[in-house]
Amino acid sequence: MGTISRLCLLPLVVSVSLLMTSSVQGGKVLVFPVDGSHWVNMNLLIQTLHDRGHEITVVRTATSWYIKENAPHYHSITITLPEAIVIEDQDFFVTFLMRMIAIQRKGASLIGFLNFYWEMLSTLSKIHQQASLLAVEMFENKTLMQSLRDTHFDVVLLDPGLPAGVVVAHELKLPTIFNVRWVTSGEGHFVVAPSPTSYVPTSGYAASDKMTFVQRVLNLVHYVLNTCIDRFIVCPHYDKLVERYFGSAVNFYHLLQGADIWLMRVDFVLEFPRPTMPNIAYIGGFQCKPSKPLSSELEEFVQSSGEHGFILMSLGTLVKGLPLEITSEIAAAFAQIPQKVIWRHVGERPNNLGNNTLLVKWMPQNDLLGHPKIKAFVAHGGNNGIYESIYHGVPMICIPLLFDQFENVLRLEVRGAAKRVEVTKITQQNFLEAIQEVLHNPSYRTSIKRLSALHRDKPMHPLDTAVYWTEFLMRNKGASHLRTESYKMHWYAYYSVDVICFLFAVLLMLTAVVVGSLRFLCLRLCRRRKPKQA
C-alpha cells in the first residue's frame, strides 16, 4: 500500500493564496437576523465581516432578546412593532416545551393533542405576521427607507427563517445572501433544490435516506403537510405584504427562491447526501474553532477527574431547564459514574446531585469540548452543539427536545456517533445505560473521530466560505449565473406535464391514424374479394 503521510506541500497553498488575495473592503451589509440560537450564528458571521472592514447594519425589533441595540461591530436599526406582538418573552419556548413534554409524558387525548398542534400553528402564524409587520413598519417609514437607499448597501444578508428582509431587499434592488437552515416553515433545500421525497427526509420527519415503503409514505405525507402549512399559514402574511407594496405581478415565493447565494448551515458529514444547486455554499460548522485553555478553576475541576475524564451536559440557548422530575433522574444517573460532570443548568437545582457534578449557569462549551479529558457530551441535538461535537470528535448522548433536534440526532445515530434518550421516557436507569454505552463501546468514539476528520477535510474553513461568497456578491453585484430561474415556470411546465400530455396525444393520434388506415385497407381488400366469391 502506498505510504500516505501528511506533509506540508506548498504549491497548492500558494496558488490558493494568490486567488484569495483580491478581496473587497468597505462593503456595506444590511442584515435581517432571526433571534435566539440563530443569532449566535449570524452574529459570528457579521463579527467576521466587520473584522474584514465591512460596515454592518442590523435590523432588530425593540423587543429583541439577544440582538442588542449597541454593539462595537454593527450599527442597528430598531423597529418598534405595534402592540399585537406575540413573542416578547424568551421563556416562550420553555413554556412550549414543558407543555409538549407534559402531553407526551402523561398522555393526552387526540382532541388535546390536536388542540395543542393547532395552537402551535397559530403561534407560527403570529410569528410570521410579526415578521411581516416589521417590513410594513419599515416601508411606512419614508425617512428610514430613503436613508437606506442613500446608504447604498452592497448586499442584504438575512436568515430566511423569518424572511421579511427578502421583501425589503427587493425594494432596495440589492443582491441577497441567505444564512440559512430553515425557510418559512421548512428546511431550506426544499425551497431551492429538487428534493425527491423517496430518499430526502422532509423537515419534521425523522428518517434516514434509506426508507422503507411505510416511511416513504409518511415522508410524502409530511411533505404535503409542510407545503400546506407554508402556503396557507405562513406565506399569506408575506403575500399580502408583497401585494400591498409591489402589486400582483410580484410573487413572494419567487423572491424567496431568487436569493443569489444560499449559505447553508449544513455539512454532509451530518446531512444525508441530496441534490443541491450551484448557488448553495455549505457552511455547516462554520462556528467551529480550536479550543482555548480553560480558567484555572475549571481546569482544576477537569483535571481532578483523573483517568476517568469528564462529561459535559448542556441543552442549548433556548431551553434553560427541564422539569425537576426529569433532572432528578439525570442527576441520580450522573452520581453513579466515576467521571466528573459539568452541567449547564439554570432551572431548579436537583437535590440528589452527586459530588462529581458541577452545575454552572454558563460554560466555555467549545473549550471544554476541545479538552483532552472530555469523554462525552450530553446535549439536546441543536445544530450548533452537534457541529462543535463533530469538530472536536466527542461522542454524544442526545436528548432531543424541539424542532429539528430529533432529525439531527437521528443523523448522528445512523452514523454511530450518538445514543439517544427520549426526554419523555427518561429514567435514572436508561440514562445511565446510555452514558455507559457511549463511554465504554469504542465504536461511538471511532465513528465521531471519522466524522471529525471528514468535516475538517475541506479546501476552505466554512466561515471563510461564508465570507467569500458575501464578498463575491459585493464584487460582482449578484450571482445570477449560478441561480436558475426555473422556479418562475408554471408547475406543469417545470414537471413537463404539458409536454408529456402533448407527446401522449401525438402518440394516440398516430396510433389512431395507423389503425384507421389499416382498417380502411382491410375493408377495401375484403370488399374486393367478396364480389369474386359471389
Residues 98-117 that bind a copy of itself (CB under 8 A): none
Residues 6+ apart with CB under 8 A from 441: none
Residues 6+ apart with CB under 8 A from 293: 299, 367
Looking at the Cβ atoms of 288 and 439, the one nearer to a copy of itself is 288
Query: Cell digits for 518?
Result: 389499416
453 binds a copy of itself (CB under 8 A): yes
By the 8 A CB rule, do 166 and 250 touch?
no
Closest approach, Cβ 243 to a copy of itself, in A, equals 26
Nearest Cα to Cα of residue 316 among 375, 353, 365: 365
Looking at the Cβ atoms of 223 and 431, the one nearer to a copy of itself is 223
Closest approach, Cβ 16 to a copy of itself, in A, equals 5
Q: Which part of the chain contacts a copy of itself (CB under 8 A), choosing from 304-312, 370-378, 397-405, 475-483?
A: 475-483
461 binds a copy of itself (CB under 8 A): yes
The maximal CA–CA distance of the chain, rounded, in angstroms, is: 118
Looking at the Cβ atoms of 155 and 439, the one nearer to a copy of itself is 155
Q: Which part of the chain contacts a copy of itself (CB under 8 A), choosing from 322-330, 363-371, 420-428, 476-484?
A: 476-484
4 binds a copy of itself (CB under 8 A): yes
CA pair distance 483, 257, nearest whole angstrom: 9
Q: How many CB atoms lie within 10 A of CB 379?
A: 30
Q: Which part of the chain contacts a copy of itself (CB under 8 A), choosing from 60-68, 118-126, 210-218, 391-399?
A: 210-218
Q: Which part of the chain contacts a copy of itself (CB under 8 A), choosing from 321-329, 396-404, 439-447, 459-467?
A: 459-467
411 binds a copy of itself (CB under 8 A): no
Strands 182-183 and 186-187: antiparallel
Looking at the Cβ atoms of 174 and 311, the one nearer to a copy of itself is 174
| Near a copy of itself in 234-273, by CB under 8 A | 268-269, 272-273
By the 8 A CB rule, do 159 and 141 touch?
no
Q: Please give the DSSP secondary-structure letter assigned to residue 366.
A: H
- Residue of the chain from 82, 196, 372, 531 that contacts a copy of itself (CB under 8 A): 196
Counting residues that bind a copy of itself (by CB under 8 A) gives: 89
The phi and psi torsions of 282 (rounded to 5 degrees) equal -95, 125
Closest approach, Cβ 382 to a copy of itself, in A, equals 21
**Within its chain, how far is the Cα of 511 from the centroid?**
51
Residues constituting the chain? 534
Looking at the Cβ atoms of 5 and 355, the one nearer to a copy of itself is 5
Residue 311: beta bridge partners?
Answer: 341, 376
Looking at the Cβ atoms of 165 and 258, the one nearer to a copy of itself is 258
486 binds a copy of itself (CB under 8 A): yes
Looking at the Cβ atoms of 34 and 207, the one nearer to a copy of itself is 207
CA pair distance 311, 315, nearest whole angstrom: 14
Nearest Cα to Cα of residue 423 among 397, 395, 401: 401
Query: Using CB under 8 A as the criterion, what x/- string covers residues 127-166 for binding a copy of itself?
Result: -------------------------xxx------------
198 binds a copy of itself (CB under 8 A): yes
The phi and psi torsions of 32 (rounded to 5 degrees) equal -115, 95
3-state secondary structure of 238: helix
507 binds a copy of itself (CB under 8 A): no
Query: Using CB under 8 A as the criterion, what x/- string covers residues 268-307 for binding a copy of itself?
Result: xx--xxxxxxxx--x-------------------------
499 binds a copy of itself (CB under 8 A): yes
By the 8 A CB rule, do 29 and 54 touch?
yes
3-state secondary structure of 272: coil
69 binds a copy of itself (CB under 8 A): no
Query: Cell digits for 350?
Result: 436537583
Looking at the Cβ atoms of 440 and 481, the one nearer to a copy of itself is 481
